[in-house]
Amino acid sequence: MKSLSLESNSFELNEKEAVKIAVAKGDGIGPEIMDATLRILDAAGARIEPTFIDVGEAVYLSGNSSGITPESWDVIRKNKIILKSPITTPQGKGYKSLNVTMRKSLGLFANVRPVMSLSPYVQTYFPTMDVVVIRENEEDLYAGIEHQQTQDVVQCLKLITRPGCEKIVRYAFEYAKAYGRKKVTCMLKDNIMKLTDGLFHKVFDEIGELYPAIEKDVQIIDIATARLATRPADYDVVVTSNLYGDIVSDVAAEMVGSVGMAGSANIGKDIAMFEAIHGSAPDIAGMNVANPSGLLNGAVMMLAHIGQSDVADKVKNAWLATIESGYHTQDIFTQESKKKVSTEDFADEVIARLGMEPEHLKPSRLIEGTGKMEIPEFKRKATTKKLVGVDVFLDWPENDANKLGKSLEALNAYRMKLKMITNRGVKVYPDGLPETFCTDHWRCRFVCTTSDLTSKPTKYEEVNYEDIVALLSKLNAGGFDVIKTENLYKFGDRIGFSLGQGE
């Protein structure tokens, strides 16, 4: 099977050759924590060659609304690996989030956030927690496609794609395999969203079969989040879609008190970006007190990704030994700490421990070649697609489903017949309940069938676009305000639309 390697080809040329990386020093505490991190990587023998790029506040304020210069894009696309400090997005309208721009423009489909307890050195109720959250990064409700359709109703489109699901699920299993993880849990809400989350579930089952050695579980997101927050030992790798992942990864990081200490990776087919999960902390910028651990952990993930697991382990173990020794920056300093240290001093303490291992915390043992993961190229399977009807959405201010239903039935729209009307997804015609609350947003389903409309399952007959256009003309002539249409298709034997509640 043809597959795409997730790493830049340059990493495979020569293990000893330095890998060119783009480095963004960022804003606020960004330059301080980046200098500390690069010093540690250099002392540990990381085989990297940084090129510094301009992104962030100064670029925004120079009139560039995306916060990144064309030259920086060029360096990123050439080097393919970015180590990025946090940046400050200026307040006010018109400035686009650089993180979102980079994720989408560069195809960084997987957000990877390992969450590990550092108890008793960092306080947590969950001393054994060790979970990796892998979140889909490009689609779902974050496609940002929103519309106001009536005076009362706005909508946001949730887009879930088969290639998107295949990439993220495959990545989660490949990650589990590469890092010696035992179980992958998929978190979804497919009891409600049967088509979108149902597709994610189906792909998880299909791809999961190819990894018999890895335990698999699928859980509903609400109870799964609650269980993760109370019994994290039941979880190992979590894979989920964009919005759920955004929430679950923050819950997980907060549970071990590591919001200021955790790193994260944004992985694409060709390009990958590594960073801390915290922001630019302008309140302590320039004071040499910031904790560089989050960015350093992002850099450790970068080293593993580019195949330098040996250096990644060396840095991570020296860092764990430093945390254990009680040399803490002010944000994690407690009475049990040995000494409060500055950003620069913390880096010196880590450097002094390179080659050492932690005594109590679990040492890092990355597996040789953790940077190599194979994601097969997406292949669309041929299937038949038949148009069988249309959902017409109307803006109709009167609160009377029966009146609307009767007038739509009287339309005589050639081959198309009104099957039902829903309001916010609940069937209100025919046979609706008077208690159902209705807005000014009505979904009217028109289909073509020669059998009785009440017979189940409905025997849909194929229609063509002219049938729909004829229906829309009739509606327009009848004074109805059509706000949008959704065509109803059958893909093979499967209907490609959800039924109304009560349909």
Contacts with ligand NAD, residue ranges (CB under 6 A): 29, 86-89, 99, 260, 275, 278-284, 290-291, 294, 331
Q: Would you say 294 or 500 has its CB closer to ligand NAD?
A: 294
In the complex, least distance from residue 86 CB atom to ligand NAD, rounded to whole angstroms: 4
Beta strands 327-328 and 339-340, pairing class: parallel
Residue closer to ligand NAD by CB (options 331, 461) is: 331
Q: How far is the CB of 101 from ligand NAD (least distance, A)?
A: 12
- Residue 29 vs 323, nearer CB to ligand NAD: 29
Of 364, 368, 264, whose CA–CA distance to 313 is shortest?
A: 364
Cβ 44 to ligand NAD shortest distance, Å: 20
Residue 370: CB minimum distance to ligand NAD, A: 24
Q: What is the smallest separation between the CB atom of 247 and ligand NAD, expressed in angstroms?
A: 15
Please identify, using beta-carbon distances, which residue of 274 and 396 lies nearer to ligand NAD.
274
The 3-class secondary structure across 22-65, one letter per residue, is EEECCCCCHHHHHHHHHHHHHHHCCCEEEEEECECHHHHHCCCC
Burial class (CB in 10 A: 0-12, 13-18, 19+), 407: middle
In the complex, least distance from residue 271 CB atom to ligand NAD, rounded to whole angstroms: 16
Nearer to ligand NAD, 248 or 416 (CB): 248
Give the torsion sign (CA, 140, 141, 142, 145): positive
Residue 88 Cβ vs ligand NAD, minimum distance, rounded to whole Å: 4
CA torsion, ordered 475, 481, 483, 489, to nearest 10 deg: -20
Closest CA to 208 of 194, 218, 198, 197: 218
CB-CB contact of 121 with 128 (8 Å): no
What CA–CA distance (Å, rounded) separates 171 from 4? Answer: 12
Q: What phi and psi values does residue 385 have, to the nearest 5 degrees?
A: -130, 120
- Residue with smaller CB distance to ligand NAD, 281 or 444: 281
CB 49 within 8 A of CB 19: yes
Please give the C-alpha separations between residue 252 and each of 53, 225, 243, 281, in angstroms, as whole numbers.
32, 9, 14, 21
CB nearer ligand NAD, residue 281 or residue 361: 281
Question: Which CB, 282 or 492, lies closer to ligand NAD?
Answer: 282
Q: Which of 264, 267, 297, 302 is nearest to 50 (CA)?
A: 302
Closest separation in Å from C-beta 140 to ligand NAD: 19
The answer to whether residues 36 and 66 touch, using CB atoms and an 8 Å cutoff, is no
Instruction: Classify 153 as helix, strand or coil.
Output: coil
- Give 361's DSSP letter: S
- The rounded Cα 288 to chain-centroid distance in angstroms is 33
Q: Which residue is nearest to ligand NAD (CB)?
A: 279
Closer residue to ligand NAD (CB): 305 or 441 = 305
185: part of which helix (H) or strand (E)?
Answer: strand 183-188
Q: How far is the CB of 373 from ligand NAD (least distance, A)?
A: 24
Please tell me the distance from the alpha carbon of residue 490 to that of residue 386, in angstroms, as a whole number: 5
310, 44 contact by CB (below 8 A)? no
In the complex, what is the shortest distance from the CB of residue 46 to ligand NAD, in angstroms, rounded to a whole number? Answer: 21
Q: Which is nearer to ligand NAD, 103 or 158 (CB)?
A: 103
Nearest distance in Å: CB 77, ligand NAD: 20
Nearer to ligand NAD, 347 or 404 (CB): 347
d(CA 360, CA 127) in angstroms, rounded, equals 12
